[in-house]
Structure 1
C-alpha cells in the first residue's frame, strides 16, 4: 500500500506542475535567421498573398502639435506620426516552433514597405521615417510601421479676415510609384485621427481635423483658427484710440494757436504707429485683409482732418470785409440754433421792476412836452441799431470757422464709428459663414 500511495502522490505533483518554456535570445536569433536567411527574404519583393489582389495598407494619423504657420511663405509645420499596417505573406511563422514568440522588431529598412511620401511637402521628396525607427512584425504576417516626422507642407493662406481668420491646410500622402491596383490605402477604423497627445499652440487653435481618401491619396485636413487676443490688445485697440484722438482737433479753438500743431501731432503719431505694427500685418498680395483696408481708411480720414484744419486756420484769419457765402451763413445760424437748444437760459427776475419803470415812464411822458417825448424814443432807436450791428457782426469768418468745427467734429466722429462697425461686422459675417 505504501508504494501505491507514493506513486499516487508523485502523479498528483506531476499533474500540478506546469511546463514553462523560457524564451531566450537564441530563439529570437533562430527566428531571424529563419526569416532572413533560410527563407531568403527579399525586401524588394512585394508581399502579395495573391497577384490578383492589391496589398491593403491601413493608415491612421497621430497629431502631436502645430509648430508654426508662416503667413508669408505659406508653410505649415506640424509634428505627427503615421500608423501604417499591412500583411506580409513572407514574414509568418508558427509560434510553437520558436518558443511561443508572437512578435519581433526589425529595422524599417530591412522589410518591404510602401513608398509613402508627402506630396505637398515644402522640402525635397524623401521617404518617411528614419533608420532608428523599427517596425513590429507579428507571427501572422502583420507589419506595423510608425514613422514620425516634422512635416513641413504648403498651405494656401487667406488673410482676408486677419486676425480673425481660419486657415484650412492639407497634408497629402501618396504612393509615389506603386499603382492603386498594386497597393491601396484604407482607413484604420474605428479611429483614424488620434489627438490624444496633441499640445495646443499659442497662436493657432485646432478647430477641426479630418481624414479623407481622394484619388488614391491619403489626405489630412486641418482647420486652424488664429487666436486674436494679442492682436486686439496691441494692434486694433491702439488704432481705434488714435483714430478718435485726431477728431478732437475740432474742439481746440483757432485763436489758441495750437489747432494746427495738434492735428499734425495726432497724424504723425498715427503714421509712426503704423510703421511699428507693419511687421505684425501679414504680407500677401493675393488677398487683402479687411484690417489693412480699415487702417488705410483711418489714414485717409486723418489726412482729411489735417487738410480741413489748414483751410479753417486760413479762413479764420480772413478779413471780414469779404462777404460770407450763403452756405456758411446757414451754418452759423444752424450752430447758434443748436446751441440755443442745448443751452439753458436763466431769465432774470426783473419783470416787475421793468413794468413799473415802464408805467412810470408812460405816466410821466404824458406830462412832458413833444421835444422831451421825442428824446425818450432815442434809446429804442439806438437799441435797434445795436441789434442790427450785432446781427452783422454774427456773420464773420471767425464765427463761420467755429460753426464748421462742430460740424466736422460730428462728421468725422460718425465716419470713424461707421468704419469701425463695418470692419467688425464684415469680419463676423464672413467668419460665421465658415461654420
Structure 2
C-alpha cells in the first residue's frame, strides 16, 4: 500500500515535466471552441482601446542613397497585443497540453497598420503567409516582414564623413488613438548583417499623433542612425583630389623660357575639370545643404583658373622689351612680395662713392632684396612673381586643405 502511494506521489510530482500530450483532435476541438462555439468575429476589436506593442527587427541595410534621399532596409515588425476571447488558460482541458497554436490574419483580428513614409508601396501591412502565434493567455504575436523603402532627408554638409538618421514611420490606417494605442518597444539587431558602406550607430523611437479628417491617429517612428565608412571615399576621392590640386602650385616653378609653362597650367586645369566631372557623380545633388567637399572643389578649380591667368601675366612680363619701363605699381608689388615671402632678388642698384656723393660709381649687380629705389629688370620681376605666387599657392592650398580635412574628421569622431 505504501509503495502505491509513493508511486502515485512521484507521478504527480513529475507530471508537469512530462511532454505535453498534444493531439490533432485536441487542437481541433480548441479551435472549434474558440472560433465557432464562442462566435469569434475577426472584425471586432478585443477591447475599446487595444494596446499594440511594435518592435522593428532589422536584418540589413539594403541601401541608403543620399543622392536620391531614400533608405531601404530588410526586416520585419513584431506586433504584440492581447485578445482575451482567444484565451484558454482557465480551461484545464487544453491549457496544459496546448501552450499555443498558430493561425493567419484571415481568422483573427489584427491591427490595421501602414508605413506612411514609404515611397515604394503605401498600403496596409497585410500578408496571409505570415502566421500569427496565439498563446494560451490570449497574447498574439504577428511578425510581418519585407523590404521597406522610405524617404530620408539627408544632411550632406560633412560628406563623406557624414552621419545620417533615417526613419521608418508606422501609423494606424483608419483606427484613431481612442481605439488603438501604439507603442514602440525597440529595435532588435540580433540578426543584423553589417553593410559595407554604412555602419549602424544607434536608434531612437519617437511617438506622436497624425491628424487626419479631424481625428488623431497614433504614430511611432523608428529613427535609425548610420555612420558612413569613409575609407573608400578617402582613397578614391579626397587623396587624388588633393594631389591633383597641388599641381597648380608647381606651374610657377617652371622657367618662363622653357616654353612649357602655359601648356602645363592648361593641362592641369583640364585634368582637374575632368576629375571634377567624375567626382560630382558621387557628391549629392541637393540644395538643402551644401557639402563642404563641394566648396573645396570650387575653391581648387578657381585656383586652377587663376593660376592660368597669372601664368599669362608672368609670361607677358618676362617677354616685355628691356626698354619698356616697369610700372610703379608693379615695383611696389615686387617690393611687398619680397618682404612677405622673404625673396632675395639680384637687383641693379646705384652705388655712390662715400667721399664724393655727386660722382656716380659704376653700376653693378648686388644680391639684395629689392626696395622702392631699386632698378628692376623684367626678368627679375618675373622671378619675384614666380616665387611669390608659388609660395602663396602652396601655403593657401595647405591651409584650405587642413581646414576642410580637420573639420570633417572632428565632426566624424566627436558626433558619436
Give TM-score, length-normalised by structure 2.
0.83
Secondary structure of 1:130's partner? coil
Query: What is the alpha-carbon distance in structure 1 between the residues aligned to residue 408 and residue 365 of structure 2?
Result: 57
Residue 279 of structure 1 corresponds to which residue in structure 2?
A: 281
Task: Select the structure that is richer in helix.
Answer: 1
Residue 403 of structure 2 corresponds to which residue in structure 1?
A: 422
Residue 179 of structure 1 corresponds to which residue in structure 2?
A: 176
Query: What 5-or-longer segments of structure 1 have no aligned partner?
Result: 1-6, 342-381
Secondary structure of 1:140's partner? coil
Residue 69 of structure 1 corresponds to which residue in structure 2?
A: 64
The answer as to whether partners of 2:343 and 2:384 remain within 8 angstroms in 1 is no
- Residue 83 of structure 2 is aligned to residue 85 of structure 1: no
Residue 288 of structure 1 corresponds to which residue in structure 2?
A: 290
Report the alpha carbon displacement of residue 387 of structure 1 after superposing the two structures with TM: 2.5
Report the alpha carbon displacement of residue 81 of structure 1 after superposing the two structures with TM: 1.8
Task: Select the structure that is richer in strand.
Answer: 2
The answer as to whether partners of 1:155 and 1:170 remain within 8 angstroms in 2 is yes
Residue 347 of structure 1 corresponds to which residue in structure 2?
A: none
Report the alpha carbon displacement of residue 127 of structure 1 after superposing the two structures with TM: 2.5
1:407 to 1:55, Cα distance in 2 relative to 1, 3 A = same
Query: What is the alpha-carbon distance in structure 2 between the residues aligned to residue 388 and residue 105 of structure 1?
Result: 102
Report the more deviating stretch, 124-133 or 260-269.
124-133
Residue 30 of structure 1 corresponds to which residue in structure 2?
A: 29
- Residue 368 of structure 2 is aligned to residue 387 of structure 1: no
Query: What is the alpha-carbon distance in structure 2 between the residues aligned to residue 393 and residue 418 of structure 1?
Result: 33
Query: Greater CA radius of gyration, 1 or 2?
Result: 1
Secondary structure of 2:106's partner? helix
The answer as to whether partners of 1:59 and 1:187 remain within 8 angstroms in 2 is yes
Tell me the alpha carbon deviations over residues 68-120 of structure 1, each in whole angstroms, 9 at most, x when there is no partner: 11123211111222221111122122442236212101113321011111111
Aligned residues: 383
Residue 365 of structure 1 corresponds to which residue in structure 2?
A: none
Query: What is the alpha-carbon distance in structure 2 between the residues aligned to residue 64 and residue 388 of structure 1?
Result: 79
Query: What is the alpha-carbon distance in structure 1 between the residues aligned to residue 199 and residue 4 of structure 2?
Result: 70
Residue 354 of structure 2 corresponds to which residue in structure 1?
A: none
The answer as to whether partners of 2:67 and 2:283 remain within 8 angstroms in 1 is no
Query: What is the alpha-carbon distance in structure 2 between the residues aligned to residue 173 and residue 267 of structure 1?
Result: 51
Report the alpha carbon displacement of residue 9 of structure 1 after superposing the two structures with TM: 5.9
- Residue 123 of structure 2 is aligned to residue 123 of structure 1: no
Give TM-score, length-normalised by structure 1.
0.80
The answer as to whether partners of 1:129 and 1:148 remain within 8 angstroms in 2 is no
1:326 to 1:102, Cα distance in 2 relative to 1, 3 A = same
Residue 42 of structure 1 corresponds to which residue in structure 2?
A: 41
Query: What 5-or-longer segments of structure 2 have no aligned partner?
Result: 210-217, 346-358
